[in-house]
A and B are shown apart, each in its own frame.
Chain A
């Protein structure tokens, strides 16, 4: 994995491998992203389960709340 580095002072553009800190950060970002998406999916599933239970669609609920 590499990142493109652009030195704004010299204009030099290089490609370098991620350093240890960046790899660690990327792993943390990936993990956080996966958790965020999983949480969003769980939230959406919970919402849908409630809608199913009360027999309304999301649009119908919006109309009631709107």
Chain B
């Protein structure tokens, strides 16, 4: 019996009898139906099909869930839907700094992470001031740090020797737009050791400071509160976002 080139469907031979035509057509139709279904296994909206290990037979892959991406499976044998890995940073709080506020106070910070990162973006302060950070509302002399400061081409190092806050900046220019800063606290939930931190803050287009230090917290508490304030004056604008890092 002759067959088709690509799918091997059986077709009547030239010498077959006319009376067998109906049966031959039925056989061919069934074969076409089977092949068509094998090539189109999708059953539901959003399904996709990919080639299986058998030629002319595709495998149905049902639609994934919202936000998933298509990836190759661990055996590198087939595609699969996978949930996006978020990179280990979770946004815990974000918002705009209210105009005329002296600062913002992030309270009830979860202790489910390893480190904390605070970003401040596009902030501006109404008067010549500095950006200060307090941890756990502690205003005693528990902050030790070294600031490397750069201002108009001159670099200097300033020691924060048991200060009552961390001073991130070296004098922010009044109403300077577009400033940014970050502040990282490592191992913030440990309850047995001092917490170390580092930061970078821009005070003007030609002024910035970066530094590292530690919080000499004898109360052995996890950090659950971060307060950022202007040393004087108030914020004109800006945003903040606090991330927990796994």
Contacts and interface: CB of A to CB of B under 8 A. Distances in A.
Contact of B92 (A8, A15, A26): A8
Contacts of B97: 4
Contacts of A5: 104-105, 107
A5 B101 CA distance: 10
B93 A11 contact: yes
Contact of B139 (A6, A21, A37): A21
B129 A33 contact: yes
Interface string A19-48: 001100110111011000100000000000
Contacts, number: 74
A21 B134 CA distance: 13
Contact of B164 (A9, A22, A28, A30): A28
B103 interface: yes
* Interface of chain A, main secondary structure: mixed
Interface stretch (B20-28, B75-83, B177-185, B227-235): B227-235
Given A29-B165, A29-B231, A37-B171, A7 B139 contact: no
Interface residues of B, number: 32
A4 B228 CA distance: 10
B100 interface: yes
B193 interface: no
A9 B105 contact: no
Interface of B: 92-93, 95, 97-98, 100-110, 128-130, 132, 134, 137, 139, 164-165, 171, 227, 229, 231-232, 234, 242
